[in-house]
Structure 1
Amino acid sequence: MAEEVDYDAITWPVQLTSKVHRSMYPFLDPSNPALSAKGKTVLITGVSGGIGRAIAEAWMIAGAKSIVLTGRNAEKLREVEEKLLAMGQGGTKIVVITADTTREEDAESLWKKAGAEVGRVDVLVNNAGSLTQALIGEGEPGKWWQDFEVNVKGVYLNVHHFLAQAPDGKGTVISVSTGTLADLYPNFSSYTPSKLAQTKFMEFLHTEQPGIRTFSVFPGLVATDMPPKQYLDFARDDPMLTGGLSLFLCTERAEWLRGSVVSVNWDIEEMEEHKTEILEEGLTKLAVWKAKFGKGGHPWGRGAC
């Protein structure tokens, strides 16, 4: 008898709660009145991909005041715009701006145009991402570095301009990260380190700009063009979960999670039950060392060899 496949095998290594969510459920449903985006303006990068599209649709469903769509592929951006307009939420202004936000001049132009069209942006969602697969020494150096250009430099440039248009130092920044931050998968030597740097940058943003609400999101494993083919059978997460989570993180109920990493697979209500433990032990923060550094050194549990 064939062994049954555990399609959550990729999810378990970064699962915080006992409950696992891989498909949409009421708490994160964008039509949930508690997730209303009325009066808010959001700028979303990397909208041409599956997760970016879902985020844009979620904000449309939630009745955002304005949605700025940006990415490098003008044709795909227009497709997303048409889909949003067809959804019939007439009160939402849709603005499409083609840009490569790894280029400083493009990022500056993007934010100038966005400001002229919609005024102040309340929420920035850094969704644009790059995943280059190659063993060290075998891939082209330029393509290897591209992951850092998109996942780190692009995020920094957008945050820089977001802060510049928010002189009161308030707003929300959400960056889409990855649950592979602690893993060592062959061929991922540019992707994982770049996402690790991005997530650490978000923690710095939280510390240096206390008025800005910052979050890093694990989107789960979604069947887009990005995941390696060998993982596609496990790519069963609904991209709309990321959209719903981005809405939730902009609510007052999510205040206690500021500066954290949060996964779409985690059950928020279960997390709330353990809020004190999560905060005191930093369970949603990056942890670098397993050793207990300090005066006297690590308390060795075994005798010397």
Structure 2
Amino acid sequence: MSEDLQVTERHDIYPTIDPKPHFTEQSYAGKVVLITGASKGIGESIATFYAKAGASLVIAARSQATLDAVQKTIGVLTEVLAVPTDVTETNAIEHLLNATISKFGKLDIVIANAGKADPWDKPFTEKDPNEWWKTVEVNIRGLYNIAHYALPHLDKTEGYFVNISSAAANSRTPFASAYCVSKHAGLRLNEFIAMEHPKVKAFSVHPGSIKTDTSMLNPSWEAYMVDTLQLPAATLLAITSGKYNWLANTFFSSNWDLGEVEKKYKDKITSGGFLVSQLNLP
């Protein structure tokens, strides 16, 4: 992963990613967007923005009740299919994709947002090993499962696969090994998606530091949770619009001013090996 970019740090919607033109022009009309972890927080915000932009939505999460609540809210904007899904279960993901294609006939964008964190309070040797592995399972097996079943459909539409990652993927935070290891593994999986499915534009995106139920498992970090739920939603509308395909197959932070990244770093990014966590052999 390359050094920090020298760009303005953003914490809310800014002019470059203003979603209003997408809403007004219904620029995602005719597109089918599948979002996991869509029943609250970041996932719900992302779903709402795509719905406002005209996309048809497939929303997935474990809880039927919370999915129903989201469907009721955004169902007034667009057609929404809600499918209760545990991303760690391959049969459940296969059913989710079958239901998507049966309903809409295709798939254009996948936002893999389902994830898990745990309290960062003690060494992993002092934690329940089953809980440690559960975090890893949700964050990497869940990501793999949705990629496995969705990518063949995205190949057909030359669509987008977005892994909601974390700045923790590039850090070594004490007591957060399960989260950091699993999120880092997601970056490497993104490279295989790029190599094996070159028609698909794959992104690993840090959504920002946002106060959610998951992030508040570590309340000592609350002072850093200063970003809005709208920041990642608007960022994703921008990067899956087609305008920023040059940024595909990289890690990107919603906090980075996208316009400044384009102006200062586009040539470096498109030349390869920048904003990518990879092994460079001599």
TM-score by length of 1: 0.84
| CA distance in 1: counterparts of 2:50 and 2:99, whole angstroms | 20
Question: Is the contact between residue 31 and residue 61 of structure 1 (CA under 8 Å) also seen in structure 2?
Answer: no
Alignment deviations for residues 149-193 of structure 1 (CA, whole Å, 9 cap, x no partner): 111111111111112334637221000001122322122110000
1:22 Cα shift?
Answer: 0.1
The residue number in structure 1 matching 2:193 is: 205
Select 1:69's aligned residue among 47, 59, 76. Answer: 59
Aligned residue number for residue 297 of structure 1: none
CA deviation map 1:179-214 (0-9, x unaligned): 122322122110000000011101110111110110
Query: Which of 194-203 and 14-23 deviates more?
Result: 14-23
Q: Secondary structure at the match of 1:43?
A: strand
Among the aligned pairs, what percent are the same residue? 30
Which amino acid in structure 2 is aligned with residue 272 of structure 1? E
- The match for 1:130 is 116
- Quote the offset at 1:287 in angstroms: 5.4
Give the structure 2 partner of residue 39 of structure 1.
30
> What residue is the counterpart of 2:276 in the other structure?
285
Name the TM-score, length of structure 2 as normaliser.
0.90
Which is further off, 152-161 or 162-171? Answer: 162-171
How far apart, in 1, do the equivalents of 2:219 and 2:7 lie?
Answer: 28
2:187 is the counterpart of 1:191: no
Structure 1 partner of 2:261: 271
Once the two structures are TM-superposed, the CA of residue 14 in structure 1 deviates from its matched residue by: 7.8
Deviates more, 1:162-171 or 1:69-78: 162-171
Cα contact 1:35–1:248 (8 A) shared by 2: no
Describe the SS at the equivalent of 1:168: helix
Relative to its length, the structure with more helix (as a share) is: 2
The question of whether the paired residues in 2 share the 8 Å contact of 1:28 and 1:244 is answered with: yes
Contact 1:70 1:97 in 2 (8 A): yes
Q: Are the structure 2 counterparts of residues 80 and 29 from structure 1 closer, same or farther at C-alpha, using a change threshold of 3 Å?
A: farther
- Give the Cα–Cα distance (whole angstroms) in 2 for the partners of residues 78 and 161 of structure 1: 24
1:238 pairs with 2:228: yes
- Rg larger in structure: 1
Alignment match, 1:20 = 9
What residue in structure 2 maps to residue 256 of structure 1? 246
Structure 1 residues 169 and 156: CA distance shift in structure 2, 3 A:
farther
Question: Which deviates more from structure 2 when the two are superposed, residues 161-170 or residues 132-141?
Answer: 161-170
1:149-188, aligned counterparts within 5 Å?
Answer: 149-166=137-154, 168=156, 170-188=158-176
Opposite residue 109 of structure 1, the aligned amino acid is H
Corresponding position: 1:214 with 2:202: yes
Structure 1: gaps (5+ residues): 1-12, 295-305
Alpha-carbon spacing, 1:199–1:167, altered in 2? closer, same or farther (3 Å) = closer
Matched, 1:100 2:100: no
Report how far residue 35 of structure 1 moved: 8.2
In structure 1, distance between residues paired with 2:52 and 2:157: 28
**Preserved contact between residue 163 and residue 169 of structure 1 (Cα < 8 Å):** no
How many residue pairs get aligned? The number is 274
